[in-house]
Structure 1
Amino acid sequence: MTDYYLCPLAHDDITAISAIERRAHSSPWSDTQLAAPTGRFDHAYGLHLMQPHALLIGYFYARCVAGEGELLNIAIEPTYQGQGWGSILLEAMIKRLNEAGAESIWLEVRESNIAAQVLYQKYGFKPVSRRKHYYACADGRREDAWVMQKIAD
């Protein structure tokens, strides 16, 4: 696997983040949401590949409040999916939230996103409930979300 580094997202990353967001998610966050003011998210990190020029290929937004960690958004550039980068990014998110004092970590995932569910379960997340009609779909339908929880390491 290529060398990489993880660092806090910077304002200059917004163009790359936005492009990944639109390609990776069927209902992407807006540029305004992605360029959230400092302090809105405790943890916003980008995964950069070391090449002649560092290439941002993934990111996550998470927060920790009163001992509860929450993964708000995570994405890997689709051309890099299925190569283990999602695992690296998820491990980093879990580590950051544990260091921030999270006693549990929560997330929502589309019912149809089986690959993400398998990845989350590999790292100890368990489905605890379902949110009916949580996600918007491109065709106007609504899709359920699985709420998953992991007890901190």
Structure 2
Amino acid sequence: MSDYQITPLDHDDIERITAIEQRAHLFPWSASQLAVSPRQFDYHYVLRLATTPSTIIGYFYARCIAGEGEVLNIAIDPDYQGQGWGWVLLNGMITTLRHVGADSIWLEVRESNIPAKALYQKHGFRVVHRRQQYYRCADGHREDAWIMEKRLT
């Protein structure tokens, strides 16, 4: 695996992460949603190749309020999936949230997203709840979300 950097999101990154978002998610966030200005408790980071910093492999949007970290959005460029980059990015997100005082991290994931669920479980996230018919599907149906938590203390 190449050298990498996890750096704060820069406004110039929005176009590149919007392209990843469009390819990585069934119902992607818009460019304007991705371009939201960071607030005091929000953390927006990108995963870059160190040798070519303009190459963004993935990103995460998270926040921490009152000791609870929450993953708002996370994605790896489909061209880089299955190569261990999700592990790298998730490690960076956990480290970031721990550093800013998170005692736990919460996320939700589509029930059908087997690779993401496996990655989260390998990182120590556990299923704590199921939100029925939470996510829209391309065929008009809805699917459940798994609510997962990782305790950091």
Q: What's the TM-score once normalised by structure 1's chain length?
A: 0.96
- Among all aligned residue pairs of Structure 1 and Structure 2, give the percentage whose two residues are the same amino acid: 61
Matched, 1:32 2:32: yes
Q: What is aligned with 1:15? A: 15
Instruction: Return 5+ residue gaps in structure 1 as ranges.
Output: none
Q: Which amino acid is the alignment partner of residue 137 of structure 1?
A: C
1 CA distance for matches of 2:38 and 2:78? 27
2 CA distance for matches of 1:50 and 1:105? 27
Instruction: Return 5+ residue gaps in structure 2 as ranges.
Output: none
Q: Which amino acid is the alignment partner of residue 6 of structure 2?
A: L
Q: What is aligned with 1:83? A: 83
Deviations 1:73-100 (A, max 9, x none): 1000001001000000000000010111
Q: Which amino acid is the alignment partner of residue 82 of structure 2?
A: G
Is 1:41–1:61's contact at 8 Å kept on the other side of the alignment?
Answer: no
Q: How many residues align?
A: 153
Is 1:98–1:152's contact at 8 Å kept on the other side of the alignment?
Answer: yes
2 CA distance for matches of 1:44 and 1:152? 20
Q: What is aligned with 1:58? A: 58
Q: Which amino acid is the alignment partner of residue 19 of structure 1?
A: A
Q: What's the TM-score once normalised by structure 2's chain length?
A: 0.96
2 CA distance for matches of 1:7 and 1:73? 16
Q: 4+ residue runs of structure 1 moved beyond 4 angstroms?
A: none
